[in-house]
Structure 1
Amino acid sequence: MGKYFSKDKWNYMFYTISHPMDGYYWIRHENRGSVPLAILMVILFSACFSANRLLASFVVSDVDPRSVDSYFEFLGVLAFYALICVSNWSVTCLMNGEGRMKDIAIAVGYSTVPMSTVLAAGTLISWFIADDEQPFYVLLLGAGIVFGILLMLIGIMQVHNYTLGKTLGTLFITFLAMLVIIFLLLLLSNLLGMVVTFIRSIYTEIIFRT
């Protein structure tokens, strides 16, 4: 396990964030990345997201801390991360993408680092700003989110060896695939619920007749 969180893996992750074109390229061609480290970054993003909603000053947030369910949000972030990876892999397999599932997982996971950083920094800064300084807080969070999205875009482009246009088209189809997967999961969940209800009714009928 130590090799996945070695100093070299951490250093290369930060190198990838500062040099995404080269970093993501060598992740695909020399296995320089780490999937467990990418997943850890997603978990850290979930923690920073929930902490921001719970602890950010009332000056910048109107969220009621009592309405925040950190455990549910943690599961939601992990599920969304898995959904993006599976959807993109499914789509790119049909569009001559060179990236493997692990490459996609690393590309998406590493892209959350800037967002986690600005969420943590924004939460701290929110307690020291006045009401008229709120736009600086919004700008900080916006910059981190945009940077993270750009990192993910470059990561997908590099691991699949796509052009920018094809990458954007692939991401749009990935979004549609995510909707299809969600629909199928809801349909399956509903079907399983009906089967369970049917079996339970039969069991109850048998109990009453005996």
Structure 2
Amino acid sequence: MNRMGIKDKWQHFFHTVSHPADGYYWIRHQEKGSLWIAFLMVLLYGIVFSMNRISSSFIVNDIEPRTVNLPAELAGVILLYLILCVGNWSVTCLMDGEGRFKDILIAAGYALFPMMAATAAATAVSHLVAENEEAFYTLLIGLGTAYTVIMLVIGIMQVHNYTFGKTLITLFLTVVAMLIIIFLGLLVINFITQVYSFFRGIYMELIFRV
């Protein structure tokens, strides 16, 4: 991809943020979206989320910074993003969705930008507000989260060519699918842990007997 191509992708990204319905439509129908920008938004949100927990003012944050594990939280954000996309893809495949898995990844990644920007701004504002002015911090987080939800709803609606009602049903089923995926993942992890413990026990028993 040349420099002009990269510039066009970024221009369309900001156009999608300001005009979600139009921007998401062209992502699906003219390949104007960028997976790399979507992944970058997820990565930046993960970093900003952890930095908010680490460096926000004590007025709005009662978390001990030393307990925050940035790599683990970043991995958690990325994993949740992937589970969301897989869950939505699995549901929409059964509900005649027109969007590809790539389109879902882009739609969800782009939608994180408002929440990322609002969280970064709220972190800075937290050091400027007095003890009775926490509402400004909460308002910023709330506005960013609300706009992210709006972008996600519009994105799913546009890439799958759904009505608003069908989109809401799809998102509800997506949450159900995510819970099932997480449950199955925990079962697999628990099974692997038990198998590992079993063979480790046998190995240790053989070591002590030899």
**TM-score, normalising length from structure 2?**
0.94
**How large is the RMSD of aligned CA atoms in angstroms?**
1.8
Q: Deviations over 1:82-131 (max 9, x none)?
A: 00000100110011000111100000000111111111111111111112
Describe the SS at the equivalent of 1:97: coil
Q: Does residue 176 of structure 1 match 2:180?
A: no
Q: Counterparts of 1:6-21 in structure 2 under 5 Å?
A: 6-21=6-21
Distance in 1, Cα, partners of 2:36 & 2:141: 26
Q: Does residue 30 of structure 1 match 2:26?
A: no
Number of aligned residues: 210
Describe the SS at the equivalent of 2:133: helix
Distance in 1, Cα, partners of 2:3 & 2:107: 19
Q: 1:11 to 1:82 in 2, by over 3 A?
A: same
Q: 1:192 to 1:77 in 2, by over 3 A?
A: same
Structure 2 equivalent of residue 103 of structure 1? 103
Give me the identity figure in percent: 53
Q: 1:209 to 1:58 in 2, by over 3 A?
A: closer
Q: 1:208 to 1:141 in 2, by over 3 A?
A: closer
Q: 1:125 to 1:166 in 2, by over 3 A?
A: same
Shift of 1:136: 1.5
Structure 2 equivalent of residue 49 of structure 1? 49
Q: Counterparts of 1:1-210 in structure 2 under 5 Å?
A: 6-207=6-207
Shift of 1:208: 5.3
Distance in 1, Cα, partners of 2:67 & 2:208: 43
Q: Deviations over 1:120-145 (max 9, x none)?
A: 11111111111222112111110111
Describe the SS at the equivalent of 1:186: helix
| One-letter code aligned to 1:133 | E
Shift of 1:202: 3.6
Q: Is the contact made by 1:92 and 1:170 (CA closer than 8 Å) also made in structure 2?
A: yes
| One-letter code aligned to 2:70 | S
**TM-score, normalising length from structure 1?**
0.94
Distance in 1, Cα, partners of 2:179 & 2:65: 30
Distance in 2, Cα, partners of 1:53 & 1:146: 20
| One-letter code aligned to 2:43 | I
In the alignment, structure 1 segments of 5+ residues that lack a partner are none
Shift of 1:198: 2.7
Distance in 1, Cα, partners of 2:194 & 2:106: 38
Distance in 2, Cα, partners of 1:18 & 1:25: 13
Shift of 1:195: 1.9
Distance in 1, Cα, partners of 2:4 & 2:88: 24
In the alignment, structure 2 segments of 5+ residues that lack a partner are none
